[in-house]
Amino acid sequence: MKKVTVSTLLAKKQAGEKITSLTAYDTSFAKLFDEAGIDALLIGDSLGMVLHGQDDTLNVTVADIAYHTRAVRRGTSRAFVLADMPFMSYATPEQSYTNAATLMAAGASMVKVEGGQWLCDTVRGLVERSVPVCGHLGLTPQSVHVLGGFKVQGRQSDKAQQLLDDALALEQAGIQLLVLECVPTSLGRKISQALSIPVIGIGAGNGTDGQILVMHDMLGVSANYMPKFSKNYLAENGDLRQALQQYIEQVKSGAFPGPEHSFE
């Protein structure tokens, strides 16, 4: 199979073909996911919680993400590889340039940042310097203390409009992909339809252009708790490869996420 690029993901959106993605943190799982046909792999700062046992993602460093990005890249021959920019690694445009360069050198094909219109100058600067950028709106885990916990975002009409405005502004600034987390299904669909770039949902309903889950949640082995928006595919199949294949098939068909995994 051909190597997945940002152009591949855009073509999938335009064709109405769902994008499949998971987090990955090491070579073995990256190779397994890659061979199964997953479109994109994210080295998420979620590693702070699922690998390090922290209560949130804020302790993760650029060095941590770079280490795991190198490992994932070694196991990947076709999937698109994204890397999270951790907490306070892009507080200024200049910081973002240095830290993004580290992650791109480690093997990422794109970096992901959390936040709205305040990031537009940073996005423009990164893109001008040949760094592809993925945005992240809705529940942004790095802002968990400002948000007052891991809560659904965009339920009020003014908050929903702000998220749409942020998404459009970020697209105009140059992001080529957007992750939308924990928003009502109707808002996930509305933002996906308003943007020309692919929107990958996690707890955003099945109206987005694709789905991503933390691999530990998808396999039911998270140490803390199972989010409402996730599904334990391993419990249903009893075999890791079959669980992975079912996840891919259900995302592509639109069967996942169902109403029980979504918010209204």
Active site (annotated) includes residue 181: yes
ω into residue 86 within 30 of 0, thus cis? no
Which residue ranges are tagged as binding site for 3-methyl-2-oxobutanoate? 45-46, 84, 112
Which residue ranges are tagged as binding site? 45-46, 84, 112, 114
Report the b/e string of 243-260 with b at 16+ CB within 10 A. bbebbbebbbeeebbeee
Options 35, 128, 181, 260, the catalytic residue: 181
Structure tokens, 70: 């190198």
User: Which of 166, 204, 169 is closest to 187 using CA atoms?
Assistant: 204
Opening angle at CA 233, ends 71 and 143, nearest 5: 60
Q: What's the start-to-end Cα distance of the chain, in Å?
A: 38
Q: Which residues are catalytic?
A: 181
